[in-house]
Homo-oligomer: A and B are copies of this chain.
Amino acid sequence: MAWRFALMIDPAASAQESADFSHSLRVLDPSVPALELGELSAQRGDGVFESIGVVDGHPHEVGPHLERLAHSAALCDLPAPNLAQWRAAVERVSAEAGPGESVIKLILSRGVEGRPAPTAWVTLATAPDNASARRDGVRVVTLDRGYPLDVPGRAPWLLLGAKTLSYAVNMAAIREAKRRGADDALFVTTDGFLLEAPTASVLLRIDGRFVTPAPSAGILHGTTQLSVFAHLEQRGSSTAYEDVPASDLKRADAAWLLSSVRLAAPISAVDGRPIVVDHGLTDELNGFLLGRRG
């Protein structure tokens, strides 16, 4: 992934209510070192992030991404981000995106060790080519996430449900999936409930209903899943958040991974067992997701 543009966000301006945040956004050369060795993001994965899909210069789901950034920051006891300032940063970066698909990444780190202020930056990169995943689908393997369904509610220090920079396990799960000849992983609880993919939400169609695991299970509330639910509801389909047993993967007649940049990737196999790809609905979902202009 090549960084095409980057901004540093001045946290000193984070309390202001001004409509003009331009002076608090510093353009960086993304190829030049910009982070100190004392950065707690780099030393301890101590911070939170969001990845926003951008199509032809239009960033998608900016509101839900910023709300989730603030939610993650609160779970991690980080200073509340000034969402108007972050929104200004997203707009400034989007203006550089140009045609095609891009990805904007927002990072809010606890800062440099020993200093009180967080570090915050925003990057722009060309999105990877996701045509094959959207068309042919992704093969997934189920992997134990290690905890039972009821843990997130009683152990908030595990930060389940926060999109933290501590993503080593998410990356390891994807490597494990590839070792097993698949493309991606699907996490399940020790007591057999479906959670999410390392970087995506999961959506099942069962008996004509569209079901996704409830965010109370310590997973992220997917911004793309929110958009897909809104679209499905508008066309008259039934949607639900539920505790989904992993065995429901066998009952589903179609399933998708949903994320901000890859968008709707149909699941073509689970643990080696094929699932039929609904090309028609997949194309409809991606057409909707790609076509948004606001």
Contact = CB atoms under 8 A, between A and B. Distances in A.
A155 B147 contact: no
Copies of this chain, count: 2
A37 B154 contact: no
A145 B37 CA distance: 29
A173 B157 contact: yes
A64 to B, nearest CB: 21
Contacts of A86: none
B30 A33 contact: no
A92 B77 CA distance: 37
A158 B169 contact: yes
Interface string A189-231: 0100000000000000000000000000000000000000000
Contact of A166 (B76, B167, B173): B167
Contact of A154 (B144, B171, B175): B144
A70 B46 CA distance: 23
Contacts of A168: 44-47, 76, 159, 162, 164-166
B107 A42 contact: yes
Interface string A13-55: 0000000000000001011111111110111111101000000
Interface of A: 1-3, 6, 28, 30-39, 41-47, 49, 76-77, 105, 107, 109, 113-114, 121, 123, 143-148, 151, 154-160, 162, 164-173, 175-176, 185, 190
